[in-house]
Amino acid sequence: MGAVAGCIELSSGTGEVAAGLVSQLLSACGEARIRVSGTSMLPSIRPADVLHIRPVDIATVQTEDVIVVARDRRLFTHRVVRVDRRDGERVRITRGDMHGHDDPPVTEADLLGRVAGQTRRGTGNRLGRPGRPAGRGGGERAV
């Protein structure tokens, strides 16, 4: 298994099932934890990091926030690079820190939550911003 999500473990690579479980955990528990399997957010987020996800309303998501999105039967964790509206609907434009291109717009329906902190090798970390290293510290730390 991959990551701690409330009281169960799951991997960000388990797709549609993971998205449903994360959504249910966020609703029931107010937090979910997922273990990262991809590299699109290096160096801020590394494979095997555990992300602490909390539910969020899209209206409160700002530029530089790192959010978790369910899309195409997969989970994505990318940084918000732009706040926008499309056809009167609030959307957020995200991009992996390692990518040179923006993702498709994130709608309220796509949004699962915001990364509130992360754990790497059992130690809490702050998420670094692109071009800046991540902070270190004991325990869990907020983004």
pTM, two decimals, is: 0.79
Q: Tens of pLDDT along 2-27?
A: 444 343 444 555 567 888 888 999 99
Return the pLDDT at 69.
95
List, as own/partner pairs, every contact residues 103-109 make where C-beta atoms lie below 8 angstroms and the sequence separation is at least 24, other chains included: 103/69, 103/76, 103/78, 104/71, 106/58, 106/67, 106/69, 106/71, 107/58, 108/57, 108/58
For the segment 76-88, what is each residue's pLDDT rounded down to a tens digit?
999 999 999 999 9
